[in-house]
Structure 1
Amino acid sequence: MWEREIDIHQVAEVRTKTTTYLGAGAINKMSDIAAALTGRGIKKAVVVTGKGSYIKSGAWDVVKKALDEKGIGYVVYNKITPNPTADQVDEAVKIARDFGATAVIAIGGGSPIDAGKGVAILLAYPDQTARDLCEFKFSVEKAVPVIAVNLTHGTGTEVDRFAVITIPEKEFKPVLAFDCIYPLYSIDDPALMTLLPPDQTSYVSVDAVNHVIEAATTKAGNPLAVSLAKETIDIVARYLPQARKDPGDLAARYHLLYASLIAGVAFDNGLLHLTHALEHPLSGLKPELAHGLGLGILLPAVVKQIYPAKAGILAAILAPLVPGLQGTPDEAAQAHDGLKKWLKQVGIKQHLTEEGFTAKDIDRLVELAFDTPSLGLLLSMAPVEASRDVVRTIYEDSL
């Protein structure tokens, strides 16, 4: 296995539109990043993070030291929750503005980094609110610099131009996509992720798997997305069981983190479609639902719908999870059943009813899939017509 020849302690620079430091010990690159910020004339930053993982992971000690040594002042907003809300973003923006911050340092998984991207935009648009942003009421062309210190291996948000912020009273969970929110620098250090418990390890890894399955099969699908999908799924299939069994296995974390990174690049290029478009209403309705878990429950039903249109690609990329697929349209049920079997093996629940959804929720979920700002674009990228009947069928099959 070629991975054994990779020195996981050698910190590599991965250049997309973001410069990402990947490897065990990459957090120590924060000193170089702080120096780069001072070189840009940045004297104050807002740290956007969750309630505790930024401290428990050890990331904050290193970040704080680097900022102190380089003379960068900071204010910390540590109230971001899973599925961050517009209210949280507005609150963080107010604190940042009052302090005079001109950069954002986001520490955490997808939620703090996504929220940090929202803060970065609104710091550049002082007359706008997070709700204005999430309902696309103004044109976004600029943001203050974002630094992402990643604490999970799933979202890919540390290397892409996307962010997700919820408007709770409308149960909207739109997708923001702007070139100005690519992080300037990101840190992907597997040593910061060894405290992730087995279930969360699966949820974030299944998020990465969904990213590439969708990216490889959208109308914008391309050879890069397919190649990255094959690599991502192969890595996750081999290393996720290892990380679940031994959360402290640094090599397993490293390779899952790399898989997540390239999955982020894949959907930054190929975009997403049905699974994410339908999961956002789930966690819009029930914000406590882990994003990756919702995706995992929906995925088999989505693949069943799209398999006849993309049989060859899906057979190729799903081979590590569902062996024996030949790439013929009549294999949709086989792909569906094989995925459900694999997902169960890695701790993903099989039915939406296990998360409290009922048949009475279907109408509202379908409505949200079509009414939430931006989700229409995702639906339009599906390789089959994403009609209301198709969306309803996926939800019903996932119950």
Structure 2
Amino acid sequence: MRFFVPTDIYVEKDCVKNHAQNILAVGKRALIVTGRNSAAANGSLNDVTNILNADEIPYLIFSEVEENPSTDTVGKAAQTAREFKADFIIGIGGGSAIDAAKAVALLLVNPDVDADELHKAPSHPLDHAPVVAVPTTCGTGSEATPVSIITNHKINLKKSIPHIIFPVLALVDGKYLASAKKQLIVNTAVDALAHMVESILNVKSNLFNRMCPEYGLKLWGECKDALSAAQNATGNDAENAAPIDASLYEKLMLTSTIAGMSIAQTSTAVPHGMSYDLTLHAGVPHGPAVGYFLAAYVEVCAKFVPQDVEKILSLLGIENVDKFAEMLRKLIGTCTVTREMRDKFAAAMKTNRSKLDLVPGKITPEDIDYIYEKSLMVE
């Protein structure tokens, strides 16, 4: 058994300010990698730049990261970092920003690697510049994983790059959720849920690494009613209610980081593998794209590891798989695609050994078809 997360992680209110010296110890010139608006709106960007300004650390802000960051974007950011002579990268935002920051950190110190070649396996491990992660959404847990999901539009590929890039420092503060839209919080929370479920229903699951998702699922279960209530509020309730109960912000962010620690040990499994095509070809946001497949995957795994499925449902406080599927529908609705698209996705998944080989049982092509048929509606 093995458990390994080398990132120095702090989860607390005002932790960027509280651990300013930890940031300043990482490097002397920073490229801040973030999205276009959210980091400025939620105060995280200001918290970081105040620290850099106070110690007169030169920095440059690259605020062009899109949802599902592309090889074009990370290539441009890396070139910007080289020209600025940055020696460390600060990723501020959701999973897209932090994943992009990781890819930029690798490209920065490997100028011979073209961004469009990031998905090719290297002949030897590559070094990377240090990364500081400041997450502002409660889903990907990228601050605690070595994974960077990048999209290459030239070859229609969305996938993790085969490089291990753990941030050296992660500063997790629930207050940054205060300005997030309700749907974003729900979507990212569903992603965190999938991380923990897929970590347990996984051949790499063991006594050590199950501690994280089991505790995280209990925390997620304590949030599920508030998430559902906020998502399903109507009329005056929807207009007057806060997007998500503010008392849950810290718990949701903690759960997300725990979920990231979970998949750092096991990797994600079939639902994530299925989600990438749905996002790339149908434009479905990542959290719902994973969530649509989650209940059917759990149902299939119940044939192989029924005790694990019972444990997951018990920790969440859910009676059975049907109730689990009902909860997910209330949170993210349903998804409709063409039959041709669904069949194409299923055919591709049947050859995805990197995900299929993680299933704790002999999953069949018929099981894959069942998951797609149960999860996606057809036009």
1:202–1:145 Cα change, 3 Å? same
Name the structure 2 match of 1:260. 256
Alignment partner of 1:31 is 2:27: no
Q: Deviations over 1:327-360 (max 9, x none)?
A: xxxxxxx51x221111133x2113x20xxx2111
Residue in structure 2 matching 1:94, options 54, 79, 86: 79
CA distance in 2, matches of 1:177, 1:147: 20
**1:336-375 map, 5 Å:** 337-345=322-330, 347-350=331-334, 352-353=335-336, 357-369=337-349
SS for the counterpart of 1:65 is helix
CA contact (8 A) 1:48 1:107 kept: yes
SS for the counterpart of 1:182 is coil
CA contact (8 A) 1:30 1:66 kept: no
CA contact (8 A) 2:196 2:213 kept: yes
1:166–1:368 Cα change, 3 Å? farther
CA distance in 2, matches of 1:367, 1:164: 22
Identity among equivalent pairs (%): 26
RMSD: 2.1
TM-score (norm 2): 0.89
How far 1:197 sits from its partner (Å)? Answer: 1.9
Residue in structure 2 matching 1:198, options 176, 182, 188: 182
Aligned residues: 361
**1:310-325 map, 5 Å:** 310-321=305-316, 323-324=318-319
SS for the counterpart of 1:20 is strand
How far 1:101 sits from its partner (Å)? Answer: 1.0
Residue in structure 1 matching 2:198, options 206, 214, 223: 214
How far 1:250 sits from its partner (Å)? Answer: 3.7
Residue in structure 1 matching 2:279, options 258, 271, 283: 283
Residue in structure 2 matching 1:295, options 290, 297, 309: 290
CA distance in 1, matches of 2:120, 2:328: 34
Q: Deviations over 1:261-302 (max 9, x none)?
A: 11111111122211111111211213x321111111111121
CA contact (8 A) 2:5 2:264 kept: no
CA distance in 2, matches of 1:358, 1:250: 39
Alignment partner of 1:61 is 2:57: no
How far 1:365 sits from its partner (Å)? Answer: 1.6
The code of the aligned residue for 1:20 comes to I
Alignment partner of 1:397 is 2:378: no
SS for the counterpart of 1:107 is strand
CA contact (8 A) 2:140 2:192 kept: yes
CA contact (8 A) 2:78 2:108 kept: yes
Residue in structure 2 matching 1:155, options 126, 140, 143: 140
How far 1:177 sits from its partner (Å)? Answer: 5.0
**1:72-87 map, 5 Å:** 72-87=57-72
CA distance in 2, matches of 1:241, 1:276: 24
Structure 2 spans left out of the alignment, 5+ residues: 231-240
Range that drifts further, 50-59 or 20-29: 20-29
Structure 1 spans left out of the alignment, 5+ residues: 1-14, 325-333
The code of the aligned residue for 1:338 comes to K
1:390–1:130 Cα change, 3 Å? farther
CA distance in 2, matches of 1:188, 1:322: 26
